[in-house]
Structure 1
Amino acid sequence: MTGAPAAPPMPPLVNTWAEPGITVPVAVAIAILVIVVVYSARSGIRDSDDFLLAGRGIGSKSNSLALAAGPIIYSNIVIITGHVALNGFDAVFLLTSFTVSMLLGLLLFASPVRNLGGHTLGDLFALRARERPARIASAVVTLLVCAMFATYTLGSISLISSRMLEIDSRTGQALVAGTVGLIVVLCVFMGGMLGVTRMLVVKAVLVLAVVAVLTLLVLAEYKLNLLDLLRDAETNAVPHPSGHGMLGPGRVFGEGSDRWVHVSKVFSIVVGVAAMPFLFMRNFAVTDGRAARRSAGWAAIIIVGFFACVTVIGLSAVSILGPKNIGLFPPQRDITLPKLADELGGQWMVGGLGAVALLVVAGVFAALLMSAVTSFTKDINAGRGRRPDPAAELKAIRRNVLILGCVAIVVAIAFLPEQTRILSPTSIDLGGAAVLPAVVYAIFWRRFNTAGLMWSVYGGIAVTMVMMIFSNGVSGDPGALFPDADFKIFDIEVGLVSVPVAFLLGYLGTITSRERDDAAFAEIQVRALTGAVAPGRRGEPVGGPGEPGRRRAASGEAP
Structure 2
Amino acid sequence: MTAIAAAAPDSDPVVNIVVFALFVAITLFVVYRVSSRSSSTSDYYAAGSAFTGRQNGIALSGDFLSAASFLGIAGAIAIHGYDGFLYSIGFLVAWLVDLLLIAELLRNTGRFTMGDVLSFRMRQRPVRAAAATSTLVISLFYMLAQMAGAGGLIALLLDIDSGFGQALVIGVVGVVMVLYVLVGGMKGTTWVQIIKAAMLILTVALMTVFLFGKFGFSFSNLLSSAADNSPMGDRLLEPGGLYGATDTSKLDFVSLSIALILGAAALPHVLMRFYTVPNSKEARRSVVWATACMLVFYLCTLVLGFGAAALVGSDEILGAPGRENSAAPLLALHIGGTLLLGVVAAVAFATILAVVAGLTITASASFAHDVYANIFKDGKAEPRQEVRVARLTAVVIGALAIAGGILASGQNVAFLVALAFAVAASANLSTLLYSLFWKRFNTTGTLWGIYGGLTACLVLVLFSPVVSGAPDSLFPQADFSWFPLKNPGLVSIPFSFLCGIVGTLLGEKPDPRKQAEMEVRSITGISG
Same fold (TM over 0.5): yes
After superposition, the C-alpha distances for 1:179-237 in whole angstroms (9 at most, x for unaligned) are: 32222222211211000001111211222222112101012223322233334344544
Alignment correspondent of 2:4? none
TM-score, normalized by length of structure 1?
0.86
| 1:481/1:90 CA distance change after superposition, 3 Å | closer
Match in the other structure for 1:382: 374
The residue that corresponds to 2:502 in the other structure is 508
Q: Quick one: distance in 1 between partners of 2:317 and 2:39?
A: 52
Match of 1:42 in 2: 35
1:108 pairs with 2:101: yes
Q: d(CA) in 2 for partners of 1:19 and 1:261?
A: 40
Contact 1:178–1:409 (CA under 8 A) maintained in structure 2: no
Higher helix share: 2
Q: Which position in structure 2 is the counterpart of 1:541?
A: none
Greater shift in the superposed pair: 21-30 or 56-65: 56-65
- Report the secondary structure of 2:278's partner residue: coil
From 406, 414, 438, the counterpart of 2:431: 438
Equivalences for residues 268-283 of structure 1 within 5 A: 268-283=259-274
Contact in 2 for aligned 1:206/1:356 (Cα 8 Å)? yes
Shift of 1:429: 1.3
Over 3 Å counting, the alpha-carbon distance change for 1:90 and 1:393 in structure 2 is closer
Counterpart residue type for residue 240 of structure 2: G
Contact 2:149 2:322 in 1 (8 A): no
- Structure 1 residue 32: Cα displacement: 1.0
Q: Is contact 2:58-2:290 (8 Å) kept?
A: yes
Tell me if 1:169 matches 2:162: yes
Alignment of 1:524 with 2:518, yes or no, is yes
Match of 1:365 among 349, 356, 359: 356
For 1:133-176, what per-residue CA distance to the aligned partner results, in whole angstroms no more than 9, with x for missing partners? 11111111111111232234223332123322212234433333
1:314 corresponds to 2:305? yes
- Greater Cα shift, 75-84 or 57-66: 75-84
Aligned to 2:469: 476
Q: Which amino acid aligns with 1:343?
A: H
- The structure 1 residue matched to 2:241, chosen from 241, 251, 271, is 251
Summarize deviations over 1:424-476 as a string: whole Å, max 9, x none.
43322110000100000000111100011011000001101111111001101
The Cα shift of 1:16 comes to 6.2
Q: CA contact under 8 A between 1:252 and 1:259: conserved in structure 2?
A: no
- Cα offset, 1:365, TM superposition: 1.3
TM-score, reference length from structure 2: 0.91
CA distance in 1, matches of 2:76, 2:222: 17
Cα distance in 2 for partners of 1:224, 1:135 equals 54
Per-residue deviation at 1:263?
A: 2.2
Number of aligned residue pairs: 517
Q: Following the alignment from structure 1 to structure 2, what is the Cα–Cα distance between the partners of residues 228 and 181?
A: 41
- Residues of 1 paired with 2:437 and 2:74: CA distance? 39
Q: Is the 8 A contact 1:60 1:295 kept in 2?
A: yes
Could you tell me how far 1:342 is from its partner in structure 2?
A: 1.8
Residues 304, 491 of structure 1: CA spacing in aligned structure 2 closer, same or farther, 3 A cutoff? Answer: farther
Alignment of 1:147-546 (within 5 A): 147-239=140-232, 245-255=235-245, 256-321=247-312, 327=318, 332-380=323-371, 381-384=373-376, 385-405=378-398, 407-408=399-400, 411-412=403-404, 415=407, 424-492=417-485, 493-534=487-528
Report the equivalent of 2:3: none
Q: Tell me: CA distance 1:226–1:415, structure 2 relative to 1, closer, same or farther (3 Å).
A: closer
Q: Deviations over 1:485-512 (max 9, x none)?
A: 1121223210111000100110111112
Relative to structure 1, the CA distance from residue 369 to residue 16 in structure 2 (aligned partners, 3 Å threshold; closer, same or farther) is same
- 1:446 counterpart SS class: coil
Matches of 1:477 and 1:57, distance apart in 2: 49
What is the distance in 2 between the residues matched to 1:342 and 1:391?
A: 47
- For residues 258-298 of structure 1, the C-alpha deviation after alignment (integer angstroms, 9 at most, x for no partner) is 21122221221111133111111111221110111111111
Change (3 A) 1:198 1:333: same
Shift of 1:361: 1.9
- Report the CA distance shift for 1:318/1:175 in structure 2 as closer, same or farther (over 3 A): closer
> Cα distance 1:43–1:455, how it changes in 2: closer, same or farther (>3 A)?
closer
Deviates further, 131-140 or 325-334 = 325-334
* More deviation, 274-283/448-457: 274-283
Q: Which amino acid aligns with 1:245?
A: R
Distance 1:435 1:226, change over 3 A: same
Identify the range of structure 1 (497-506 vs 128-137) with the bigger mean alpha-carbon deviation: 128-137
Q: Percent of aligned pairs with the same residue?
A: 31
- CA pair 322-486 structure 1, distance change in 2 beyond 3 A: closer
* Distance verdict in 2 for CA 1:331–1:320, change over 3 Å: closer
Change beyond 3 A, Cα 1:445–1:409: closer
Instruction: From the superposition, tell whether residues 417 and 303 of structure 1 become closer, same or farther in structure 2 (CA, over 3 Å).
Output: closer
Q: Using the alignment, how far apart are the partners of 2:225 and 2:33 within structure 1? A: 49
CA distance in 2, matches of 1:397, 1:65: 25
Task: Give the 3 Å change call, closer, same or farther, for CA 388–21 of structure 1 in structure 2.
Answer: same
User: After alignment, is 111-120 or 390-399 more displaced?
Assistant: 390-399
Query: Equivalents in 1 of 2:169, 2:317: separation in Å?
Result: 26
Give secondary structure in 1 for the equivalent of 2:237.
coil
Q: Which amino acid aligns with 2:275?
A: F
8 Å CA contact retained: 1:145, 1:276: yes
Structure with max Cα Rg? 1
Structure 2 contact 152–409 (Cα < 8 Å) conserved: no
Which amino acid letter does the alignment assign opposite residue 66 of structure 1? A
Secondary structure in 2 aligned to 1:527?
helix
Distance change >3 Å, CA 246–CA 285, structure 1 → 2: same
Residues 314-365 of structure 1 show CA distances to partners (whole Å, capped at 9, x for unaligned) of 1223334467655499973234323322221111111222222222221121
Alignment of 1:59-78 (within 5 A): 59-78=52-71
Of residues 74-83 and 452-461 in structure 1, the stretch that sits farther from structure 2 once superposed is: 74-83
- CA shift for structure 1 position 308: 0.4
Task: Name which of structure 1's ranges 127-136 and 165-174 shifts more when overlaid on structure 2.
Answer: 165-174
What code does the residue aligned with 2:374 have?
A
Distance in 1 between residues matched to 2:164 and 2:318, nearest whole Å: 26
Gaps of 5+ in 2: 1-6
Partner of 1:109: helix, strand, or coil?
A: helix
